[in-house]
Structure 1
């Protein structure tokens, strides 16, 4: 089983967010998906994660997937350009004794959208929305931490983008992991 480096990053104050120097193109928008369905969430997850070996959710039932999406403080924000999704972020909130902690649970761009400066813009929006999630969900206490983790299987721009937006590494560890083929089920195999 191969070893993977897992890196945990965090912000402890909204003032730590460093906005992207780029702005969203005129033909693009970032939008909260109201009442997201498990089907749309799975489409986003597989479209972004199929080349990055995201497979942890593929074994979930529709009901289990829906349960995650319906938790207080769970939000999905999608970057659209030319009317089509180009990337997304899923925020998941945990209430602790110190307040709300928001995890950027999934973040990424569709393969054809990488390398165009969209990741920094989407991450800036994700961080701003994470820090204000307690204003969207009145039952949640004030946000005191926003965090995420990445690993050495992610794209080469992931960690530099996170650090450029003001997230700071607070822990790294080596893990043995079974690398699964996340593209299974995305497209049927070609007949031949």
Structure 2
């Protein structure tokens, strides 16, 4: 199956278009929760991490990342970031399958983007990529929140 990757960015926190509030918060997530949530969120969308070995997970989790569980009454999703210079990449964002369609995705993304802007002083941009293998609402949600496509590639 052909896959299209879309890269999106936001160059000012003022560009964020918040979604309507929903009962979602962000809580720091440790390595075991990150792995669990990544697998549960990513497997339906064929995230590369879905097939990693224990050694690949250990290497990945040893790198500096900022990891947060998106939480309602229980963990409902994941937000992870990598900071490089004055760029913040949202490396993972998604909801668990059982939380999709419950009206929390827009607000969860709003919180995720707000957090991204706080991770490094003087951040110049927040960016991420999505794929046609991701949930069909992913790209529209990113664009509704103010992220703009700047590159696409086909695989």
Q: How does the TM-score come out when normalised to structure 1?
A: 0.75
The offset of 1:66, in angstroms, is: 2.5
The offset of 1:60, in angstroms, is: 5.6
Task: Tell me the SS of whatever aligns to 1:143.
Answer: coil
Tell me how many residue pairs correspond in the alignment: 153
**Structure 1 residue 165 corresponds to structure 2 residue 151:** no
Gaps in structure 1 of 5+ consecutive residues:
135-140, 176-192
Q: Which has the larger radius of gyration?
A: 1
Task: Tell me the SS of whatever aligns to 2:44.
Answer: coil
**Structure 1 residues 144 and 60 mapped into 2: Cα distance closer, same or farther (>3 Å)?**
farther
What is the correspondence of 1:74-85 to structure 2 with a 5 Å cutoff? 74-82=65-73, 84-85=74-75
* 2:28 match: 32
Runs of 4 or more consecutive aligned structure 1 residues displaced over 3 Å after TM superposition = none
* 1:110 match: 96
Which one has the bigger helix percentage?
2
The offset of 1:81, in angstroms, is: 2.0
Task: Tell me the SS of whatever aligns to 2:45.
Answer: coil
RMSD value over aligned CA atoms? Answer: 1.5
* Separation of aligned partners in 2, 1:128 and 1:47: 24
**Structure 1 residues 174 and 47 mapped into 2: Cα distance closer, same or farther (>3 Å)?**
same
* 1:190 match: none
* 1:89 match: 79
Q: How does the TM-score come out when normalised to structure 2?
A: 0.91
